[in-house]
Amino acid sequence: MITTNYLIIGSGVAGLTFAIKIADRFPDKKVTIVTKSNADESNTKYAQGGIAIVTDETEDSYQKHIDDTLICGDGLCDVEVVKIVVTEGPKRLKELIAWGAKFDKTAKGFFDLGKEGGHSQNRVVHHKDQTGQEIERTILDQVHQKENITVLDHHFALDLITEDNQCLGAFVLNQRTNEIITFQSHFTLLATGGIGHLYGHTTNPIIATGDGIAMAFRANATIKDMEFIQFHPTALYDTSTGSKFLISEAVRGFGAYLRTKNGNRFMLDYDKRGELASRDIVSQSIDLELKKSGDECVYLDCTHLDLKAFIKHFPMIYERCKSIGVDITKDWIPVVPAQHYLCGGIVVDKNGKTAIDNLFACGECSRTGLHGANRLASNSLLEALVYSDKIYNYLVDTTLKKKELNPILSNWIFVEKPKITHDYIAKIKALLQLLMRQNAGIIRYDNDLSKAKEKLMQWQDELKTITENNEISSELYELYNMITIGNLIAQQSMIRIENKGSFKKNN
């Protein structure tokens, strides 16, 4: 058994910024981060756009950012949470800069602010089109400087340990040795990111399998708003890859047009904001256009833009397009919607607390009330920064009052068991991803959802038996978690009647 004061599951911006602050405040306390891949592999790393923060109060204001967030959330945001997150953003940005993060500036030394769909003003602070990578680099550098932080990569969290509605830690699989370790902790933070791999076609990395939400659900935490799934309108259409490369929202903010194969600039038929409508509207519009035409993709036209300025702002996008033979000076970029972000998740209060004592959640796996029915572009990194700080401040007081840990008796009983085949897991995973794309995608139907729920329940029962009777592996548990998440999405989609934000159901 390993004992620690703070157990953090996940290594994105949410978990790491909390770790840095709590380790600084309590140098005598142990902070342990477990992550199932390399420490730098997370959804944070792939965030291209940036952080939506009010930095120019002459042109912009907190109220404008609040209003944009509320409009995008389609009446389901928690207004108080929106105000807190928006107004605390500038402080969190200053912390990142103090830690060494660099953001693009104009020749006059001001932030070079981008504009994305749903925003009424330029307010997105960015580092070219690699903002997430820059933030991840910065905070990991800080983490490695703290002597009381231990980072254990290739450690897969299997399940939370709970007793009398208290979280006591987690069972974790060391993927290198196949040993299951009991971690006991005063406090546990789930910062496990999103669910993208459940759909297969996603902008998320392959590690995004909803593990934290599934674990919290099995531990009886409250899970809400799972029907609100954001599909990014413009993922690069490249048949050679599963995970889709993101063509940032900021490219449309920069002036690119969406066109059909025949050249029709169709977004103006759906929304007066055209390409700068919110993501739900753009994704649903593309989906309708593709269903009408039978085409496999639509196109982003950048040929009228200033090439030099484009390459300066979007070097990674330019190079990726070039690598598949798309010359943006004369070719349109083929794009399709892909699963991008989950607006719901583990319900937390304004301190990031779940319904289970000593268990917290932060980042995409949490449901704070900020996003409502649809997340405003570049509000995700902002939410993670603000809520990790909220959890830190809450736990400063709580830690000072906390007594020493009493040893727990919970243990994972190890018995020699047969190993499930990789082929079986790969087959079910492929069927699951197809089921979710077809039956619980951008536009849903009750009949499809009912069929999906029935199949998912069957798989869930099957996987529960398999996990009990076969050798545990991260691959097997990921599949179990994805099926659990799929079931939650299907059930909560069936319950919702009214179309809101990213949720659209035709009866």
Catalytically active residues are 279
Strands 345-347 and 155-163, how do they pair?
unpaired
User: CB–CB of 53/125 below 8 Å?
Assistant: yes
Separation between Cα atoms, residue 481 and residue 473, nearest integer Å: 12
List all residues 6 or more positions away from 330 whose beta carbon is below 8 Å from its beta carbon. Answer: 303
Is residue 354 within 8 A of residue 222, CB to CB? The reply is: yes
The residue type found at 86 is V
Amino acid (one-letter) located at 163 = E
- Sign of the dihedral defined by the CA atoms of residues 71, 77, 81, 85, in that order: negative
- The β-bridge relationship of strands 504-506 and 443-445 is parallel
Rounded Cα gap, residues 404 and 171, in angstroms? 20
Sign of CA dihedral 357, 358, 359, 362: positive
Query: CA-based angle 242:247:252, to the nearest 5?
Result: 150
**Cβ count within 10 A of residue 118:** 26
Helices 79-99 + 62-72 axis angle, to 10:
120
Characterize the bridge pairing of strands 298-301 and 333-342.
Answer: antiparallel
286/270 Cα distance (integer angstroms):
10
29-to-151, 388, 389, 394 alpha-carbon distances in Å = 14, 18, 18, 16
- Any residues with CB less than 8 A from the CB of 200 and at least 6 apart, and which? 242, 430, 433, 434, 436, 437
In angstroms, rounded to a whole number, what is the distance separating the alpha carbons of residues 423 and 504? 35
Tokens coding 289? 């256009």
Place of tokens 């600084």: 24
How many C-alpha atoms does 98 have within 13 Å on its Cβ side?
9
> Which residue matches tokens 């319904």?
355
Q: Which two tokens stand for residue 363?
A: 């980042």
SS (H, E, C) 179-239: EEEEEEEEEEEECCCCCHHHCCCECCCCCCCCHHHHHHHHCCCCEECCCCEEEEEEEECCC
Closest CA to 370 of 165, 167, 66: 66
